[in-house]
Amino acid sequence: MSPGYHNIRIGDYFYDLPDEKIAKYPLPERDSSKLLHWNGVDINDSIFRDLPAILSPGSLLVFNNTRVIRARLIFRKESGATIEIFCLEPLEPYDFEMNLSCTTGVVWKCLVGNLRRWKSGRLTATFTTEGVTRVLHAEKISSEGGTFMIRFEWEGGQISFGEVLEAIGHMPVPPYLGREDEQIDVSSYQTVYARVEGSVAAPTAGLHFTPSLLKSLTDSGFDTAELTLHVSAGTFRPVKSEKIIDHLMHREHFYVSQHILRSLKGRMVIAVGTTTVRTLESIYWLGVKCAEGIMKDGNSASVSQWEPYTRRSDLDMDTAVESLLETMKNAGIETLEATTDIMIVPGYRFRAVNGMITNFHQPGSTLLLLVAAFTGSRWREVYDHALASGYRFLSYGDSMLLQPEK
């Protein structure tokens, strides 16, 4: 693959986004949002619930079924200072499910707000669940690159850390909404098919789906599949470097079963959301590693940020998937846990995804770069059309179906 990614300047991927174009709240009906359809040539406007009539026949829709956790914890010191801890990634136990199920202390990698007011010592916060008053403690263990390893412990009876977060945590709505989380976000900032807890940001393209629309897709003959990628807070991290090569991508955990891998073979795949795009493309590169004998037993299942640009491969998606399936079978792995730092920028050659459903992203963001990688220079035409046609932008905004005709 061309090394041109070294020269990509983030300044070339900015556009003017007026504040009034940003959707601060969701629509009352999820599937009533506007849908922009780009077929590789033309742009058409529609309503999201009309999706079954727009999709190419035979398409397989792949969803990310991750569930957003209440990852923001607010502590108030006796001095009156407010400290916010944003849980990013579990460390002890490392597994999301084990960590959230733990009824003793856990350790997470976190961001800390108002750090200068928390020099040392333990923070405490009191909360009540099922009529029982409990106390949560937080203690800094170490730091690394602007993040902190924080141990959480709690008193007041056996409950899991997941239950602690549900009781005292706040929904991690994006900072660009310019508001605190509210009761409406508890359900609205969650897809209707969210099942596996672990994300600290919603896979927002999926917020437009309703149970009735999912049924309509099935009744119309479309197949669906689910995988899991836990979205990191890094998805909101702005690109501050002049060149994209200097931006450090965030690591995300994903899980994929043999059953889902088999369903991908020989299909026209429509990814619901950029998180699903990154997962599917990462699956391809894991398959390449298996085919090359680099990943023999399911260990070291990871894709680094620039690996797709430095590793050459002419394998097609079906062959890559078959290689990954064979490795998983030989290792006795039904569901593979892996990590990816993959960064998809203009010049990337898509192997797994034929189309995508996604929202409208922030100027100069890695998500906009992913869209530009898929649409080429046409991304600006698509965004200009949306801005001129009254589309709502960002997480609670409208969406688009990018589905080039073959």
Reported as a single tens digit per residue, the pLDDT across 210-252 is 999 999 999 999 999 999 999 987 776 778 899 999 998 888 9
What is the average pLDDT score of the chain?
Answer: 94
Reported as a single tens digit per residue, the pLDDT across 122-138 is 999 999 988 899 999 99
So what's the pLDDT on residue 1? 41
Confidence of residue 406 (pLDDT cuts 50, 70, 90): low
Examine the pLDDT at 188 and tell me if it is beyond 90. yes
- Give the mean pLDDT of 83-108: 95
Per CATH, domain 3-68+186-402 is 3.40.50.360: no
DSSP state of 380: H
pTM of the model: 0.94
Distance CA 238, CA 10 (A): 10
Contact 252, 303 (CB under 8 A): no
- Give the mean pLDDT of 308-331: 95
Distance CA 305, CA 309 (A): 9
So what's the pLDDT on residue 356? 98
Query: If we measure between CA atoms, which residue out of 73, 9, 64, 125 comes closest to residue 278?
Result: 64
Reported as a single tens digit per residue, the pLDDT across 280-308 is 999 999 999 999 999 988 777 999 999 99
- Which percentage of the chain shows pLDDT scores above 90? 87
So what's the pLDDT on residue 347? 94
For CA atoms 160, 163, 165, 167, the dihedral sign is negative
- Give the mean pLDDT of 367-385: 97
- The tokens of 354 are what? 């034929």
Can you say how many angstroms the Cα of residue 16 is from the centroid of all Cα atoms in its chain? Answer: 24
Length of the chain in terms of residues written = 406
Give residue limits of the domains in the chain: 3-68+186-402, 72-170
DSSP H or E stretch at residue 84? strand 82-92
Reported as a single tens digit per residue, the pLDDT across 41-69 is 999 999 999 999 999 999 999 999 999 99
Exposure letters 333-356 (e unless 16+ CB within 10 A, then b): beebebbbbbbbbbbbebbbbbbb
Examine the pLDDT at 2 and tell me if it is beyond 80. no
Reported as a single tens digit per residue, the pLDDT across 34-47 is 999 999 999 999 99
Cis peptide upstream of residue 346 (ω within 30 degrees of 0): no
- The tokens of 41 are what? 């040539």
Examine the pLDDT at 191 and tell me if it is beyond 90. yes
Burial bucket for residue 115 (CB in 10 Å: 0-12, 13-18, 19+): middle
Distance CA 160, CA 179 (A): 29
Examine the pLDDT at 313 and tell me if it is beyond 70. yes
Burial bucket for residue 57 (CB in 10 Å: 0-12, 13-18, 19+): exposed
